[in-house]
C-alpha cells in the first residue's frame, strides 16, 4: 500500500561505470518515510535500484551509490538470470550508445536451441536470438554478444566493416577472451555465430 506521503515515483535514473568498465543503470526511488540512509540493491542485470530520502540531492545519491558499487558488484554473481525484456532493454542502451539509436529490430529473445552458437540474427525479419547458455555470463559479456548481433542488422557478413561496428563496444576484446575461456572450459559454444541469414 503506497503511503500518501511517498512522492510519486517519477523515473529518475542515471548511469555509472563499474570497476569492470561495464555500464550500470541506477534507478532512484524516493520516499518520505525514509529519513537518513540510502539503500541500494540489484533490480535486474545491470540495473541498481536505490531507495533514498526525499530531500537527498542526486549528487548525494550518486556519491552513495559509487561507494556501494564495489560491494554490489561482488554480490552480482547472485543476480537473477536476465529475461528477454532485460536483453531488449540492454540492446536499446547499446543502440543508443554505439549506433546513434538508428537500429531497428522486431524481437530479441533467449532460445534453448542454439548449441553451437552464442546467437543469431536474421536482418530481414529483425529477429535476434541469444543462446540461453549466456544467461550465466556477466552482463558486460552479454552486451558484447548483443553488440555482435545488433551489428548484423547493418552488416550481414563477418566483414571488416562488421567488426569495426562490433569493436565500438569498449570491452569487445575482453569479452572475446572471456567467451573463449568459457568455451575451452566446455561451458559455452565455440562459435559466436554464422554470418547473418
Ligand atoms: Zn555474426
pLDDT tens, residue by residue, 54-107? 888 888 888 988 888 888 877 765 567 789 999 999 999 999 999 999 999 999
- Nearest Cα residue to 18 out of 102, 79, 100, 103: 79
pLDDT (0 to 100) of residue 9: 46
Look at strands 127-131 and 119-122 and give their pairing: antiparallel
Evaluate if residue 2 carries a pLDDT over 60.
no
Give distance in angstroms: CA of 177 to centre of ligand 1. Answer: 16
Evaluate if residue 183 carries a pLDDT over 60.
yes
Average pLDDT on 157-167 reads 97
Q: What are phi and psi of 71, to 5 degrees?
A: -65, -40
Alpha-carbon 88 to chain mean position: 9
The answer to pTM > 0.85 is: no
Give distance in angstroms: CA of 155 to centre of ligand 1. Answer: 9
CB 39 within 8 A of CB 61: no
Strand blocks (E) in the chain:
12-17, 23-31, 39-44, 47-53, 107-111, 119-122, 127-131
Give distance in angstroms: CA of 147 to centre of ligand 1. Answer: 10
Give distance in angstroms: CA of 28 to centre of ligand 1. Answer: 37
Evaluate if residue 46 carries a pLDDT over 80.
no
**Length of the chain measured in residues:** 197
Share of the chain above pLDDT 70, in %: 84
- pLDDT tens for each residue of 118-148: 899 999 999 999 998 888 788 899 999 999 9
Could you give all domains of the chain from N- to C-terminal order, each with its CATH number?
12-78 (no CATH), 84-184 (3.30.2010.10)
Report the alpha-carbon distance of residue 135 to residue 81 in Å, rounded: 5
CB 129 within 8 A of CB 111: yes
Give distance in angstroms: CA of 191 to centre of ligand 1. Answer: 9
Report the alpha-carbon distance of residue 179 to residue 167 in Å, rounded: 15
Give distance in angstroms: CA of 82 to centre of ligand 1. Answer: 21
**Cα distance between the two ends of the chain:** 50
- DSSP H or E stretch at residue 16: strand 12-17
Give distance in angstroms: CA of 39 to centre of ligand 1. Answer: 41
Give distance in angstroms: CA of 120 to centre of ligand 1. Answer: 7
Amino acid at each position: 500500500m503506497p503511503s500518501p506521503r511517498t512522492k510519486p515515483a517519477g523515473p529518475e535514473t542515471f548511469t555509472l561505470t563499474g570497476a569492470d568498465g561495464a555500464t550500470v543503470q541506477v534507478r532512484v526511488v524516493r520516499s518520505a518515510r525514509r529519513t537518513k540512509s540510502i539503500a541500494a540493491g540489484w533490480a535486474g542485470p545491470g540495473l541498481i535500484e536505490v531507495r533514498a530520502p526525499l530531500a537527498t540531492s542526486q549528487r548525494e545519491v550518486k556519491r552513495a551509490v559509487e561507494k556501494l558499487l564495489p560491494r554490489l558488484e561482488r554480490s552480482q554473481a547472485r543476480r537473477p538470470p536476465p529475461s528477454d525484456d532485460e536483453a531488449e532493454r540492454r540492446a536499446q542502451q547499446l543502440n543508443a550508445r554505439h549506433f546513434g539509436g538508428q537500429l531497428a529490430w522486431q524481437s530479441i529473445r533467449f532460445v534453448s536451441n542454439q548449441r553451437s552458437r552464442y546467437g543469431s540474427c536474421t536482418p530481414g525479419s529483425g529477429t535476434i536470438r541469444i543462446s540461453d547458455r549466456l544467461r550465466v555470463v556477466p552482463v558486460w559479456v552479454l552486451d558484447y554478444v548483443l553488440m555482435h548481433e545488433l551489428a548484423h542488422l547493418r552488416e550481414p557478413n563477418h566483414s571488416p566493416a562488421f567488426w569495426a561496428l562490433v569493436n565500438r563496444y569498449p570491452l569487445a576484446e575482453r569479452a572475446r577472451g572471456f567467451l573463449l575461456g568459457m568455451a575451452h572450459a566446455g561451458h559455452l559454444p565455440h562459435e559466436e555465430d554464422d554470418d547473418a541469414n
